[in-house]
Amino acid sequence: MRAPMRRLPEQLLTMPRALFHPLFASLLVLLVACDGDGDRDAGSVPAAPAVRPVKTFVVASGDQSEQRSFPARVESARRADLSFRVPGTVADIAVREGDTVAEGAELARLDDTDFRIELRDREATYQNARRNFERARELLPKGHISRLDYDRLEAGYRTTEAALQRSRRNLEYTVLKAPFAGSVARRMVQRFEEVAPKQPVVTLQQLHALEVKIDLPERLLRSFEAQTDMSVEGTGSEASAWVTFDGAPGRRIALALVEAATRADPETQTYELTFRMANPDDMVVLPGMSATATVDLSRLLRAGPAMWIPASAVTADAALEPMVWVLDPAAMTVSRRAVRTGEMQADRIRVLSGLRAGEEIVAVGVAQLADGLEVSRMPAGEQATPRAGEPG
C-alpha cells in the first residue's frame, strides 16, 4: 500500500516563490526516498532457517551372523561324457534320455565289420611270425642261424603280437558300456551317424548325490581370517551352508563343503566352492537347476564385529573418500565422519571402521547436508523427497 503524503511545514508555505520550487523538489525527493527505505526495512525480516527432514539409521552392534547368499548351480556329483575310442558308424543305440542303467550295461555299438577283418589279418600275421620265431629258437643252439637273424625274427614276433592285442582291444572299443550306474542325461548321436574318437555320444550322471557350486568373490576372500589349515577339512567345519530353491522358499537343504579352488577363474576372478548335497525325496532336484546357496562365514572372517548400514548413507567428500553424516541427538545437528567401507551386499554396505554401535546416522537425504545443519527425524514410513531444484 502506498504511504500517505506528509503535510509540508508552514515555513515552506511562507517562503518566497523564487526559492520555493528548487527547495520543494529536493525535499520531496528526500521524503519519498525515506518512505521507500522504511517500507523495505519493515518487510525484510530474515526468515528462520528451515529444518531439513532426514531419515536416520541406528548402527547395529554387529554381532549378527555373517550369512552371505550366492547364486548357485546344481551339478551331478558323478558325471561323464562317454565316447568311443575308435572311429566308425553307429550301428545301434541301446538307451534313451532319462533311462537308468547299471554298471557295465551296453549303451551304444559301432559297426564292427572292418575291425573283425583287421583282427583276422593280424591273427594270421601273428601266427606266421610266431612259427618263424619258434624255428629260429631251435636252430640257434646248433649254429644254423646267426644271432642277428634270430633277433630280427624275435622282434617281428613281438611286434605282431602287440598289433594283435591292439586289434582285439579296438574290437572291444566298438561297444560303449556304462562305467558306473546312473541315468542317461543326454544322447548326442543317432544311428548310422559317423563318429570320431573322443566325440561325446552319451552323458551319464548319478542323481542320488548332487553338488552345488558357487563362485566366491576375491574381495570377500581377502576378508577371511588366515587359517593354519586352508584345506577342505580345515575350513569345512568352520562354515555352515544350506541351499534353497525358488519353488520351495521355506525348504532348506544342508550342504557339506567338499572342494575349494585355490586358483581364480581367469575370466571372473572368482574362486569356486563345491558343496555336496543329498537329493531330497520330497522334491525334484536335477542337475542344471539354479538355486541360492547361503553360507555363514562368521567364523572365517577376521576378528571384530561387522557393521552393516544402508548403502544410501555413504557419500563422498571433496577428496572422494567415503563418509557418513552422524546425528547429534541432543542438538539435532549433523556432522561428517570419515569411514572405511568393505564389500556390498544387496542394498547394504559393510563399515570396517569409523562408526560405533548405537550411533545414529542419516540414511536418506544426505545430498544437501552440511556440518552443523539442524535436521529433524522423518516419521516412520515416510521417504525423504528432494526439494524443488535440489538433487535427491
Question: What are the cell numbers at 339?
Answer: 569411514
The answer, yes or no, to whether residue 3 has pLDDT greater than 60, is: no
Q: Which residue type does 161 have?
A: E
With b for 16 or more beta-carbon neighbours within 10 A and e for fewer, the 258-282 pattern comes to eebeeebeeeeebbbbbbebebeee
Of the ranges 34-43, 114-123, 253-262, 372-381, which one carries the lowest mean pLDDT score?
34-43
Q: Which residue type does 160 have?
A: T
Radius of gyration of the chain measured on its C-alpha atoms: 45
Q: Give tens-digit pLDDT for 315-365.
A: 988 888 999 999 999 999 999 999 988 877 778 888 888 888 889 999 988
Among 291, 224, 296, residue whose Cα is nearest residue 262: 224
With cell 583276422, the residue in question is 120
pLDDT at position 162: 96
Yes or no: say if 56 and 329 are a contact pair by the CB < 8 Å rule. no
3-state helix, strand, coil in the chain (%, to 5): 25, 35, 40
DSSP 95: -
Strands (E) across 49-87 are located at: 52-58, 67-76, 79-83
Burial of residue 326, with CB atoms counted within 10 A of its CB: 0-12 exposed, 13-18 middle, 19 or more buried = buried
- How big is the CA angle at 115 (ends 112 and 117), to the nearest 5 degrees? 110
The answer, yes or no, to whether residue 122 has pLDDT greater than 70, is: yes
Q: Give tens-digit pLDDT for 229-252.
A: 444 454 544 558 889 998 777 788
Q: Which residue type does 24 have?
A: F
Q: Residue 119 — φ and ψ, nearest 5°? A: -65, -45
Question: What are the cell numbers at 369?
Answer: 547436508
How many CB atoms within 10 Å of residue 306?
20
Q: Give tens-digit pLDDT for 177-221.
A: 999 999 999 999 999 999 999 999 999 998 888 999 999 888 777
Yes or no: say if 291 and 280 are a contact pair by the CB < 8 Å rule. no
Question: What are the cell numbers at 314?
Answer: 555413504
Question: What are the cell numbers at 50?
Answer: 528451515
With b for 16 or more beta-carbon neighbours within 10 A and e for fewer, the 333-354 pattern comes to bbeeeebebbeeeeeebbbeeb
CA distances (Å), 222 to each of 272, 301, 302, 350, in order?
15, 9, 9, 14
